[in-house]
Structure 1
Amino acid sequence: MSKPVITAFDWVPWFAKGLVRDLRVRWALEEVGQGYDVRYLPQGTQKRPAHRALQPFGQVPTYEEEGLALFESGAIVLYIAETHGGLLPADRGGRARAIEWMFAALNTVEPPIMDYAIATLFEADQPWSKPRLPAIVARISERLDELSRRLGENQWLDGSFSAGDLLMIAVLRQLKGTPMAAMHDNLAAYAARGEARPAFQRALAAQLAGFTAKPPPEYAFLDQPPAKQGELA
């Protein structure tokens, strides 16, 4: 059987490295021991018809395997978990709860975190961004409080490590570098346990190694963090 093929970018801005959603798929594949190939896309080509035929919203990742083509990282991770052992419990109830946490990560915890990224990165120069921040931070804080209470002193969300933990930790990692990342010791330790897994380390190294292209000229200013930009100026 041929290896599945995923798509990823060959360059992203400094703040997206280690966070682009193909990492979630790479991590799942590494956890189940499934090899894969990567088709790298230069920035901009994800919006062209050839890629939109696979991903109608012009994003990454996509996943292709023997005539099957999938998009949306959560759906791909669920497919991997369902077709390989190790990411979903064997019993029906445990499996359902793991999937429940997958949905919670993507539908409940991630949306306000993405709002924060939009307000502080993608639309930071817009007049509405700064006034929105207190409300966004309040929503994130509420979700983190709730998640922290539910996790408690447990190692993982529901028994053994599952696809639910994989996606939840991937979502929480987006808060790195913000004050919210240190709000709850148990959540910080939870995310660190996920990042310490050998499968995550392999996936992260593979993603970072794939950023080999130079940025498009119009995005060159995003190739390095602001401090480094200043040093290079």
Structure 2
Amino acid sequence: MNRGIFVIFSILSLLAFGQSLFAQSLLDNPDYKKAIELQQLAKDAHAAGDYDKAYEYSEEAGIYIARSNAYIAQRILWYKANGWLKNARSRVAYFKSSGINPEYQQAYQQALAGLEAAEKSFTEDQYENSIEYSKEVLTLLAEAKSGTLLPKYYKVRLIPKERDCLNKIAGYPFIYNDRTKWRLLYEANKSKLKYRDNPHLIFPGQVFEIPSIEGERRSGEYDPGASYPVFGK
């Protein structure tokens, strides 16, 4: 294979590489268009037997290919950084609207600073830095919970169709979400029961404490009009 043929195949492979990187960006990429033109000139010169000219065109095309690939790589980074930044914004916005559990307040403040750094890096075209800051935001808030805590106390309600009892209370999503955990309520509140031999016989108005069993934070008395997270989720 002579030098001219080798150069032509080299340019073809470079162009294929550029296309595989980011095809959409090539449509408005003047460097890529110029490389295509030079590729054709190189092929024509080679067909005419002017191998030196073909080599010259190929060398020039290689310069434009390098520029094109650099542009494409930058666009790929832009899209990646933009995606990570959107996720970070969404996570912060969620806690901004719903509130943050006090336990995670420090992590939230760090996440706010991280998001600001991610935004700044993105606007300055420092996409790799922006991605790292966005990932840090998501890591900081990965385990965070909203500001609404589970109730610590439950006042027995008068529900004629299905009376409150310990196993029913334990099954409420904001209590334990599991009726079989009623004995935990019994052990924590047996001094309040009127009939200890019948732990499920309870009365409207009685207030029972809901002990924490998985390290969850609880506060206040259950409010039927409030919205609570589901225990364990």
What's the TM-score, normalizing by structure 1?
Answer: 0.24
Q: Which has the higher contact order (CA 8 A, sep 6+)?
A: 1
**Greater strand fraction, Structure 1 or Structure 2:** 1
Larger Rg, first or second structure (1 or 2): 2
TM-score (norm 2): 0.24
